Structures are given as C-alpha cells and as structure tokens.
A and B are shown apart, each in its own frame.
Chain A
C-alpha cells in the first residue's frame, strides 16, 4: 500500500496548483491514468492523420493541398511529442505503438468515421479540431508538467487547424455554388453528433472523472466542456447558413446556453467497441505502414550500430 503521508503530501501539492514533474513522487494510479490518457492522445494524433490524409492527393487547389499537408504533418509532430511526454513516465514509444497496433490501446473514436467528401476536411478542422481545442485548452492547466507544456504548444497549432477548417467551410457553405453548399451541409450533418461525442460520456456515467478531477489531471467535466463547444459552434454554423441537425437545439434564455438533444450513446459505445465505420480499416492501415516499414527501421538501426563500431575502432 502506498504511504498515506505521501499521498496526502501529493494531494496538497496538487491542490496548491503546483505542477508534478517526471522525477517527482506520484501515486501509481496517477501515473497509470496519465500514461493511458497521453498515449490515447498520441494515438489519436497518429490515427487522425488518416481520415484527412485521405484527401491530400485530391485537394482542390494548390493552396488547400499545401495547408492540408502541413496540418497532417503537424499531427505527426503532436504524436511525437506526446509519445515523448509519455516516455517521461517510464513507458517507451515502441511499447505504446505496439498497444495501438494490437488494438489494446484506444484512440479518439472520431477518427473511425470516414471522410467521404472534401467538405469533411472542412468539417473536421472546424468541428473536430474545435472540440479538441476546448478540451486541450482545459488540459493546459493539467497537473502533470510535461503534458501541460505539450498542450500549450499543441493548442497554438490546433487553432490554426481550426481556422483552416472553418475557412474551407466558408468557401463551400457561404461563398460556394449549390453543389458545394450541399456538400457542406451533408458533411456538417455527418460530423456534428460525433463531435459532441468527443467529450466522452456524461459526467454521471464517466468511469474516471472523480479521481482525475481531484488530481487535477482533468480540470473540467465532460458535460461542461461539451456545452462550451455547443455554445461556441452554433453561432458559427448560423453564420455559415448551415442547419444544425438537431431539432431540439434552441437558445435557453434562463441558462444562457444552448439546449441540445440527447446524444445517441448506443452509437458512441458501438464505435468505442470497434464497430464504427472505419475502426478496422484505420488499424489495418496503421499496421500495414508499420509492417512495411519494419525493414527500413531495422536498416537504420543496423547502420547506426555499424557506425558506432567504426567509430570505436577508429578511436582505439
């Protein structure tokens, strides 16, 4: 059993808004939760490259192609520094990637939906990155220092991602022709509900919420963040002239927030379980890249070893 005095000291330290650093003592549960959460976040960045990468070769203009490649490239970068943040907690990247590829580790379910039109690229930037920002702005104040600092850096790039998504939607929904407007509305219909699901189950049903809030890993509840996202996004949708695919959505004067309809948690749970439209496809794609890259990584390691040996010989 962990020393009660240590636990109390840790809690007081966190309560005083101090950041926990890699070498500090921390409860096993705290470490475990962080590894799981940061790894899931890293995996989400890496798997998230696929739905958007799907449109790189078909991007409609040189400018859009350039922006999209940069964005997907940023996601690879985010994956890298999140894996590094995880390594500060004692779990190496190869182990984490193995867990992703075997299906043991989870990643954000949103990436198990397909990008079927160019407008989906706009909708992902606007809604998915928008939801991610709401979450990540909150995580900038998370109690684990390396994660918090990674979030500060990532948020800066995410806001560029969100803007480019919204800009695509403006071009389609506001300034586009009829076909483009239709494309935009259809994409919005596809991505609206899954975006709301990104905040996870309602706090009442969330398995980890209580302890994570106490440890200040999590700073805000799922429902609070979801509401914030809805309040922020509805006026943006209205500006675009898009219809929100929720007949229950209306402004509530008394609460100062938008009320919205019930999320289909059955769908959410099915996608989490592996039954989303692209779960298998995404993992197969990652596994294929990993397997086909094995000989390249082996060659790089073999070469590095040879170089070291040569240096040792020439130094002797």
Chain B
C-alpha cells in the first residue's frame, strides 16, 4: 500500500463519522423527548470520538505540523471525502432514524470485516468501535419498528424518509480503486461484499416495520471525490467558523 492510499482510506472513515456526528449533535436540546436528546447526543459523541481517534492517527502519519483539529476543521470542502448521505440535513425524526438505520447497519458489518485487517491501527479501531455501533444499530432498529409500526402518520413519514435516502446508499457500498486495493492487500475491506448480509437484515427489519423496500438502482455519488451537496458548505461554515476566524489560535 502507498502512504497516500492508506491516508485517504482513513480520511474517508474519519470524515464519515465526523460529519454524521456533527449532524446528530444538532439534535441536542431539540429532540422529541428528553431520553432521545440523551441517546442522540451519546451516538454523536461516539462518532466524533471515533473520528478524533483517526484524525490523531492521520496527524501522526503526515507529521506536517497539523494536529487533529487542523485536519478535521480547516480543510476546503472539496477535500472532505465523506459519503453524501451523512451530510444531508437531519430532516424530521424519521429521516434521522432512517439514516441512522442505513448507516449503522452498514457500518457494523464494515467494522466487523475490518477487525481482521492486517493493519494494527484499523483492526484495533474496528474492535473498539464495534461495541458502540452495536448500540447505535439497536437504537435505530428500535425506532424503525416504533415509527414503522406506530401510527399511520409515523409510518408514512418513515416510508417517505427511507425512500428519500435510498439513492444515497449506493455510495456506501461502492468499491472504487482504493477499496479494491485495500481489500486485495488485506488491510481494508470490500464494501460491495457487505451488501448481501446488509440486505438480508434490511428485509427483515422492513418486513417487521411494515415498510416497502425501495427498488431504485441508480444512486448519487461524488462524496469520496470531494464533490458534495449544497448542504455541505453550510455545515462546514458552522463547523469551521472559529478555526477560520482565528487562524492558529488555541482553544
């Protein structure tokens, strides 16, 4: 593996988690019930914590004087390589839960494969993060059932949400040259290879929740290459505000 490939691979993982954590943290103080303010904050903390661990590793790898905050909070938009689904606005609670379900059910499988990575950092990271993500998936699944099989309104909102996010899923499962290289060399894992197990679980959960599985095959992509949605600029404007207003300041 080249240093550049390894670096980018880690960066994708870190950006996915940071951007989703940032989005989830917007719920803090605004949740539908206090228990959910607590649960979503917990999950946001896990994602941001996971991303921090990776950014620290990246800082030590690049050894160019940039610390984890400089990497996480001062890049240009086109240098962020997260999947597009994770930067989309939270929407209503159904959209947030649908995204949590889609992402955590993917991510758990991904980490489970990454546990066997030949790279010590990645396997350790996966081992440690799996415990957290199991809880995230449990939380999301519980709410998929409550909303899907709750009231007609919650059902219709959730169906709308799972449909709306569906065209962003392909990007999570797409193997580009980097994923193929990482999987072939044994330090990363194929995303495409996770699809069957992921679909099996999805079908079961959707059936229990009374949801229709969308069938559209076409999907949005570009996040991995730094081509983002219009929402990303605003997310970054908030997230980077102090770092940009006071370059080099310590906090």
- Interface residues of chain A, those whose CB is within 8 Å of chain B, are 46, 49-50, 53, 56-66, 69-70, 72-73, 76-77, 79-80, 118, 168, 171-172, 175-177, 179-180, 285, 288-289, 292-300, 302-303, 306
Residues in A with CB closer than 8 Å to B249 are 60, 176-177, 179-180
Interchain CA distance A300-B36 in the complex, whole Å: 12
- Bound form: Cα–Cα A296–B95 in Å: 12
Q: Are B150 and A298 in touch, CB under 8 angstroms? A: yes
Determine the chain B residues whose CB is within 8 A of the CB of A298 once the complex forms. Answer: 150-151, 153-154
Contact B68 A62 (CB under 8 A): yes
Instruction: A58 to B250: give the CA distance in the assembly, Å.
Output: 15
Given A58-B242, A293-B93, 6 more A-B residue pairs with CB atoms under 8 Å apart are A49-B37, A56-B26, A79-B34, A168-B251, A175-B250, A289-B29
Nearest chain B residue, comparing its CB with the CB of A52: B29
**Chain A residues closer than 8 Å to B31, beta-carbon distance:** 289, 293
Bound Cα distance A285, B72 (Å): 30
Which chain B residues border A294 with CB–CB below 8 Å?
A: 32
Which of B47-55, B75-83, B221-229 is found at the contact surface with chain A? B47-55
Decide if B25 is an interface residue (CB 8 Å cutoff).
Answer: yes
Within 8 Å of chain A (Cβ to Cβ): is B41?
Answer: yes
Cβ contact within 8 Å between A296 and B154:
yes
Contact B251 A57 (CB under 8 A): no
Closest to A57 in B: B238
B contact residues around A288 at 8 Å (CB) = 30
0/1 interface trace, chain B 225-251, chain A, CB 8 Å (1 if under): 000000000000011011100100111
State the CA gap A65–B69 with chains docked (Å). 11
B159: interface (CB < 8 Å): no
The answer on a CB contact under 8 Å between B48 and A58 is no
**Residues in chain A near residue B242, CB distance under 8 A:** 58-60, 118
Tell me whether A73 and B41 are in contact (CB under 8 A).
Answer: yes
Residues of A near B149 (CB, < 8 A) are 303, 306
**In the complex, what's the smallest C-beta–C-beta distance from A277 to chain B, in angstroms?**
18
Tell me, yes or no, whether B217 is within 8 Å of chain A by CB. Answer: no
Asked whether any CB of chain A lies closer than 8 Å to the CB of B22, the reply is: yes
Q: Which of B73-111 contact A (CB under 8 A)?
A: 73, 92-93
Q: How far is the CA of A46 from the CA of B37 in the complex (A)?
A: 10
Instruction: Verify if B157 is at the interface (C-beta below 8 Å from A).
Output: yes
Q: 26 A-B residue contacts at CB 8 Å?
A: A53-B28, A56-B25, A56-B28, A59-B242, A62-B51, A66-B52, A69-B45, A69-B48, A77-B38, A80-B34, A80-B35, A80-B38, A168-B251, A171-B251, A175-B250, A177-B249, A292-B32, A293-B31, A293-B33, A293-B36, A295-B151, A295-B153, A296-B93, A298-B151, A298-B153, A302-B154
Q: Is the CB of B55 within 8 A of A62?
A: yes
Which among A62, A63, A295 has the greatest number of chain B C-beta atoms within 10 A? A62
Residues in A neighbouring B36, C-beta threshold 8 A: 293, 296
Q: Report Cα–Cα, A297/B242, bound state, in Å.
A: 37
In angstroms, Cα B29 to Cα A285, docked, is: 9
Kindly provide the distance from the CB of B205 to the nearest chain A CB, expressed in whole angstroms: 14
Cα–Cα distance between A39 and B210 once the two chains are bound (Å): 40
> What chain A residues lie within 8 Å of B72 (beta carbons)?
62
CB-based nearest B residue for A64? B251
Candidates B25, B38, B41, B68; contact of A57 at CB < 8 Å: B25
Which residues on B sit within 8 Å (CB–CB) of A77? 38
Shortest CB-to-CB span from A214 to chain B, Å, is 34
B232: shortest Cβ distance to chain A, in Å?
14
Contact across chains for B151 and A302 when beta carbons are under 8 A apart: yes
Q: Give CA–CA (A69, B26) in the complex, Å.
A: 10
Instruction: Let me know if A62 and B48 touch, CB within 8 A.
Output: yes
